[in-house]
Chains A and B, each alone.
Chain A
């Protein structure tokens, strides 16, 4: 019997590992599409942001800041702050991907989202290494990209037919809660979260919607101070 090529085997296992996460991606993408149109973006702008930005959480924040007439500089720096966490992913992928040609690293960096990172880093850590394993990230990333575009489109088409009373926007804080709660394991992380939260609530009425970027910076500084004081590893 003919063996499947090792590149295809890695690619396929990337897709299969990523598949279960799509149960969360589809509604998330649809909520983004709905909120995008609701916030006054055109269907084309809403759809294109899914490939230009390709980051669920940041796209939803983008629509909300845009609807609240946030100045461009504040909007861009808020999005940059939200997506700065991808540097962590990229850094931890470095040992596995550094030998690749530039074009591969560009493509894989573009596809490096929370969900693709989550399944592929598990494969790199848990299973034996080989020279084709970048195809795993290509598989997980491309599946996520495809499903994200289709769900965005579905959300845009549903768009205005969804009543606002369903408060679908509330799904956003809920999904972030499920991400943040497991991270609150050390004192510095809790201090960072509380400080950022308090700044966000008290600075809501500051001009230019600057509350998010202020809260993020304040939280990071508070976390670092607490880390220094407690000497506890975060």
Chain B
């Protein structure tokens, strides 16, 4: 079963990468589709970011004693100032380890 799911996900991904190059689609996608596509990255990534920060392993929103929130705020500042993915990841992880160690 898992292999079928993996292959379906692979096909869906390949379709997204190939369809515009295939020549099957019209050269210009309809305006509303183009508009909708612009929001895909933030609409998909933001939920993953926020649930990665706020949701605990038992699927509840965790605020009290959640060191990921503080680590994420500091990492966000680094992301805004440096725009560097690696610097953001390293800062965030170091902050989380430090805060977990201290508190």
Contact = CB atoms under 8 A, between A and B. Distances in A.
A87 interface: yes
B50 A83 contact: no
A181 B39 contact: no
A68 B9 CA distance: 17
Given A86-B13, A173-B48, A200-B51, A223 B89 contact: no
Given A179-B45, A182-B83, A211-B51, A109 B35 contact: no
Interface string B30-66: 0010011111111111111111111100011100000
A50 to B, nearest CB: 11
B17 A193 contact: no
A161 interface: no
Contacts of A181: 76, 79-80, 83
A201 B61 CA distance: 7
A76 B48 contact: no
Contact of B18 (A79, A90, A193): A90
**Chain B interface, >50% SS class:** helix
Contact of A224 (B17, B27, B39, B72): B39
A45 B22 CA distance: 29
B21 A97 contact: yes
A208 interface: no
Contacts of A175: 85, 88-89
Contacts of B71: 170
Interface in A56-79: 57-58, 61-62, 66, 72, 75-76, 79
Interface stretch (A11-19, A150-158, A183-191): A183-191
A98 B43 CA distance: 29
B50 A80 contact: no
Nearest to B32: A224
A5 interface: no
Point out which of B36, B38, B48 has the most chain A C-beta atoms below 10 A from its C-beta.
B48
30 contacts: A48-B6, A53-B6, A55-B13, A62-B9, A72-B5, A75-B5, A79-B13, A80-B16, A81-B40, A83-B13, A85-B16, A90-B19, A93-B20, A94-B20, A167-B96, A174-B89, A178-B83, A179-B45, A188-B39, A192-B39, A192-B43, A193-B43, A197-B47, A200-B48, A200-B51, A201-B51, A205-B59, A219-B47, A220-B43, A224-B35
Interface of A: 23-24, 27, 41, 45, 48-49, 52-55, 57-58, 61-62, 66, 72, 75-76, 79-91, 93-94, 97-98, 105-106, 108-110, 112, 165-184, 188-189, 192-197, 199-201, 204-205, 211-212, 215-220, 223-224, 227, 234
